[in-house]
Amino acid sequence: MHMKANIKKIAIPLIVVIIFGAAVLAGALNWKNSRKTDETGNWQTYQSSRGFSIKCPVNFNGYFDAPNDTTAYQDGLKSGCIAKDDGVGTIEIVSWTKFTEEIWGKNFTFDDFLKNEIEIIKKSDPGFKQEEIFLDENPAVKITYTENLGENEIRKIISVYSKKDKIRYHIRAVINSTKKEELSPIVEKIISSFDFIDSDLAGNFCGISTLGECSSDSDCVTGGCSSEICQSKNEEPIITTCEYKDCYKAVNYGLKCGCSTKKCQWRLLKN
């Protein structure tokens, strides 16, 4: 009897201590998770007319809907974050709906494109890492590898490939290898902030933003024969061919020409 009583005296405080310890641990984990969530709270959200947004740290610059500077993708647009720190290059997102037939072939698919990209990466880094991930709950492929440019210049590359509805996406981040430990977590957070706004609005809109400088929406005007150009009123008017296309109707895609991040560009009406 005395032994049972002693065990009971010991057991009850022990249980109380365990419960209290578990509560403290749970509170600490919740605090840690809230800290993680709040880390991006003051980041800038940049938005593309292709129906997605991405967050960048406040010491980054952003740009949107600049015509892609290569001919590899038909109607390609690029968006992203530009780091002021020389340890991170542009975190670029290229989105497109059609492949340029002259380069890729008439029946070239997104899967063909991804296979081709992997083959190229294998040649530069046989030790590359490939993962199946989700980009805002949408299936994606993430590939991490190193790129040797010679003269002791090595870069870490993170590429994410995804497609949703009619649009394909390629996110590419470049990190100086000497700062990969410091900057890789930041790049990962930027990529994970990718958010599909409304893919129905993305569709096949084919207007162009000049990204002219502005301080308010009143500084931005539409131009071109079909009002498909969003530009600054201080820029020279852009002359376009008078070829009518339904995809020029910005209102059909819920878009307006306005000033965002001090640049004239097409953006969603609700913003």
Q: What is the pLDDT of residues 173-225, one digit of tens each?
A: 998 888 888 888 999 999 999 988 754 544 567 788 888 889 989 999 999 88
Residues 20, 51 within the same domain:
no
**Which CATH number goes with the domain that contains 67?**
3.40.1000.10
Domain endpoint, select from 152, 181, 201: 201
Q: How many Cα atoms occupy the beta-carbon half-sphere of 191 within 13 Å?
A: 30
pTM of the predicted protein model: 0.64
With beta carbons less than 8 A apart as the criterion, state whether 158 and 167 touch. Answer: no
Q: What is the pLDDT of residues 94-153, one digit of tens each?
A: 998 888 888 888 889 999 999 999 999 999 899 999 999 999 889 999 999 998 877 777
Domain endpoint, select from 153, 171, 201: 201
pLDDT recorded at residue 173: 92
Domain endpoint, select from 153, 172, 201: 201
Domain carrying residue 145 = 44-201
| Phi, psi for 226 (deg, rounded to 5) | -115, 25
Residues 197, 84 within the same domain:
yes
Q: What is the pLDDT of residues 151-173, one digit of tens each?
A: 777 889 999 999 988 889 999 99
